[in-house]
Amino acid sequence: MASPQPSRLRIGRRYRANRLNGPYDALVIGSGIGGLASAACLARMGWKVAVFEQHYTAGGFTHSYERNGYEWDVGVHYIGDMGRADTLGRRLFDHITDGRLQWAPMAECYDRIHLGDRHYDLKAGPQAFRAELKKAFPDEHDAIDAYLTAIKKAAGAVQPLTLARMLPRAVAGVARKGLDLGALGRYNRPTRAVLEELTDNQELIAVLTGQWGDNGLPPSRSSFLIHALIARHYLHGGYYPVGGAAQIARTILPVIQASGGEVFTYADVTDILVENGRATGVRLADGHEERAPCVISDAGVFNTFTELLPKHAPHHGHYQERLGQVNRSMASACLYIGLNDTAENLGLPKTNYWIYPDNDYEGQLDRALADPDHHDIPLTYISFPSAKDPDFTRRYPGRATVEIVAAAPYQWYQRWDGTTWGQRGEDYEADKEAFAQRLLEKLFEKHPNLRAHLDYYELSTPLSTAWFCRYPTGEIYGLDHDPNRFQQDWLRPKTRIPGLYLTGQDVLTCGVVGALVAGLATTLAVTGRKGLPLARRMFVG
């Protein structure tokens, strides 16, 4: 088959200083979904916004790439709450894309949890979810009911906390007094600790927390708040963007351009300009300086405050101290697989697989990370994007794709740090090949017929994430979502530096929708009272 044009997945305009068309009302560093959402929300209010992306395409972890006639997403494996127009996530996507982004539902069983030779299905809809679990655990009906109540209460407790972080500090201090701090404290504890108060059945706990890879911490280390948000998010099933993950940035771009703005690629921001105590613009790698009254960083808090913000900036020491109170999230490896037949012919499911050796998540993880060559892979996640996307066969007839994600700490690859992508040496390639073969066997255990249709595969490591996404240790979720993270009041859109704002998954929570809502939060923080109509539209409808 003839490969699509290489430019098809390259979204945005290649940066040249003479292509800038300022003055701009705001500058955004990074084109992850938080940055794009901020830019698009502001554009819908008439702001002229320039987004600077150092990669060759816009989208951050929502971008797609193509190789050897196949296309893969790099971070969008499924998204919840897209089946109804009245959810916050769907409202926001419709707002920033003018309704052009379409969604396809996955199978009723959106996630299948494999524990050794046993498996359990998570089914779409609260009643189906509840019934399937009760069928699998007939002696745990009360615990399952209590669990569903707990995730509802915990997710509800996070909402006013999120709202408080959108408000100015003085107002937020008053608003916090009205929060249900008891509920926050009760649920901002380790996920496993909360669940063990409901049941002592470790198999059930493992099934309930089988999506822990969606936040990057096993249940004894994650906050139950993030577990509840994720579990509730998928309770009505999973959805996938029609046309692939690249459609997200592609449908947002025209909204930004409509008010005179643009998304620039190959646009490497090296410094945030701070003059007379306030952020006034950015400096790019070619030395060009672009100024605007508002600078929004979607680069993550570590990059923002250690790499981009100059030491003479006000409150620089304050933020260095605060960074010592949070940790970078997990790193991963991902195997991208191309198959020489269609998803339909091959019987690929619209269901994700979470594969574990047994229900001892923490023990398996600790042993494997300490000695990876002598222990089973502690977490293997398999996604079938070509089966989820009804448009895939039109774009790539006769082909299908699979993606396999596994926990892979940065330390495994640290000896190649500083080397150039694609030129890391034979020992690095041999290490990758060995791990790729282990992951392939996980796939063939579930679908042995795919062995004969394997056409192409390649493995990305934490070094790939560091190279393309500028997360130095390959962290895919920004900051760890442990209980301590939810106590960090400084993780808010408005910084102490006038003119400088934050957005993306470090502001609220990880995931596409978490970063998307952060984009809304940043917009509201930037615009103040003028943003109230947008807030009412998003939160009230």
* Of 5-19, 107-121, 322-336, 434-448, the least confident: 5-19
* The pLDDT of residue 169: 56
Of 541 and 403, the one with more pLDDT: 403
Mean pLDDT of the residues in the chain: 93
* The pLDDT of residue 6: 43
Which tokens go with 504? 């993306």
Domains and CATH numbers, the chain: 6-101+243-325+488-539 (3.50.50.60), 125-236 (no CATH), 328-469 (no CATH)
CB 476 within 8 A of CB 75: yes
* The pLDDT of residue 515: 97
pTM: 0.95
Instruction: List pLDDT tens digits, range 445-472.
Output: 999 999 999 999 999 999 998 888 888 8
* The pLDDT of residue 4: 35
Tell me the average pLDDT across 420-439: 91
* The pLDDT of residue 77: 96
Instruction: List pLDDT tens digits, range 52-66.
Output: 999 999 999 999 999
Is the pLDDT at 526 greater than 90, yes or no? yes
Q: What percentage of the chain reaches a pLDDT higher than 70?
A: 96
Q: What percentage of the chain reaches a pLDDT higher than 90?
A: 85
3-state helix, strand, coil in the chain (%, to 5): 45, 20, 35
* The pLDDT of residue 182: 63
The pLDDT-based confidence of 180 (bands split at 50, 70, 90) is low
Is the pLDDT at 24 greater than 70, yes or no? yes
The pLDDT-based confidence of 175 (bands split at 50, 70, 90) is very low
**Coil/strand/helix, residue 29:** strand
* Of 33-37, 258-262, 277-281, 428-432, the least confident: 428-432
Is the pLDDT at 177 greater than 70, yes or no? no
Cβ-in-10-Å burial (0-12, 13-18, 19+) of 41 comes to buried
* The pLDDT of residue 179: 53
CB 9 within 8 A of CB 73: no
Tell me the average pLDDT across 28-56: 98
* The pLDDT of residue 72: 97
Which residues are within 8 A (CB) of 130 and not within 5 positions of it... i.e. 6 or more apart?
Answer: 144, 145, 148
| Integer Cα distance of 361 and 477 in angstroms | 19
Task: Give the number of other CB atoms < 10 A from CB of residue 475.
Answer: 23
DSSP 223: B
* The pLDDT of residue 423: 85
CB 422 within 8 A of CB 430: no
- Ramachandran area for residue 139 (φ above 0: left; ψ -120 to 50: alpha; else beta): alpha
Is the pLDDT at 10 greater than 60, yes or no? yes
The pLDDT-based confidence of 152 (bands split at 50, 70, 90) is very high
Residue 6 main-chain phi, psi, to 5 deg: -55, -30
Instruction: List pLDDT tens digits, range 193-215.
Output: 999 999 999 999 999 999 999 99
* The pLDDT of residue 444: 98
CB 538 within 8 A of CB 516: no
Instruction: List pLDDT tens digits, range 319-371.
Output: 999 999 999 999 999 999 999 999 999 999 999 999 999 999 999 999 988 88
* The pLDDT of residue 157: 87
| Integer Cα distance of 94 and 72 in angstroms | 24
Is the pLDDT at 174 greater than 70, yes or no? no
SS3 for 248-307 is HHHHHHHHHHHCCCEEEECCCEEEEEEECCEEEEEEECCCCEEECCCEEECCCHHHHHHH
| Integer Cα distance of 352 and 458 in angstroms | 20
The partner residues of 383 in beta bridges, in order of sequence, read 403
